[in-house]
Copies of this chain bind each other. A is one copy, B any other.
């Protein structure tokens, strides 16, 4: 499936990296050294290396926002991996669109699992004989990504699995004309991303938004808001977001992950 979409056809292969290592730590650079040794013309793109340490949900939300912006032939490597060195499985995912993702089996790829096929990575073509206990990003995932970027077959990475770990993904629930969700994560601007996705509004108009007991002003753009006012809008990542015009919604309105968000439709 999708094999033709993976062909680089003379274009440089694309590899993306997402980790919680810190861009200045030297660890992403070591992964790039391994990648470039095996895929000399790779276009390597950093999605982020500033995921909060061990924040698997935060990493998953960033993947959800970034991965679909890349051509399907890109290979995505994500490492937020509190359990490195334990028995957690190394994972390769091919999602319903044919996108290939590689990293630990800990829920990081939850947004891509709906119609996915998954494999654990066991082949000694990519797993080194003496695997480091602490840096699978460099010693296991980067070689697996290089194998895929060079046209390797995901089915040869190891046995297929049907039970990849899924995050208890905080989705939205519809009751009548109310869609109820929660605050998930703040972005670097202090905008709060919620669990309510655009497709869950089913094309219906939002009439009002409540965050706990506070009303948010529904706008299409920041520009429609007054300074300091709590705004709600569909953000660029396809989720309902809470924001303040030229301000920091998290700080100015005390928003926290887990707070209840209610949208009335109609």
Contacts and interface: CB of A to CB of B under 8 A. Distances in A.
Interface stretch (A43-51, A110-118, A164-172, A202-210): A43-51
Contact of A36 (B26, B33, B71, B188): B71
Contacts of A33: 45, 66, 69-71, 74
Interface string A21-48: 1111111011011101100111111111
Nearest to A69: B33
Nearest to A16: B29
A84 interface: yes
Interface in A51-72: 51, 53-54, 62, 65-66, 69-71
B25 A69 contact: no
B135 A83 contact: no
A125 interface: no
A233 interface: yes
B36 A14 contact: yes
Contacts of A26: 47-48, 62, 65-66, 187
Contacts of A29: 16, 45-48, 66, 69
Interface stretch (A145-153, A174-182, A221-229, A249-257): A221-229
Given A49-B24, A134-B233, A221 B86 contact: yes
A134 B14 CA distance: 27
Contact of A222 (B34, B69, B85, B235): B85
Counting chain B CB atoms within 10 Å of each CB, which of A47, A49, A84 scores highest? Answer: A47
Interface residues of A, number: 62
A48 B24 contact: yes
A1 interface: no
A192 to B, nearest CB: 14
A35 B43 CA distance: 12
Nearest to A246: B82
8 contacts: A24-B188, A25-B189, A30-B69, A33-B69, A54-B246, A86-B221, A133-B221, A134-B222
Given A26-B65, A29-B47, A85-B223, 5 more contacts: A30-B65, A37-B69, A54-B246, A69-B138, A84-B222
Please provide the 9 A-B residue pairs with the shortest distance between their CB atoms, ordered closest to farther: A24-B50, A85-B221, A33-B69, A135-B236, A133-B221, A86-B223, A11-B40, A22-B188, A33-B70
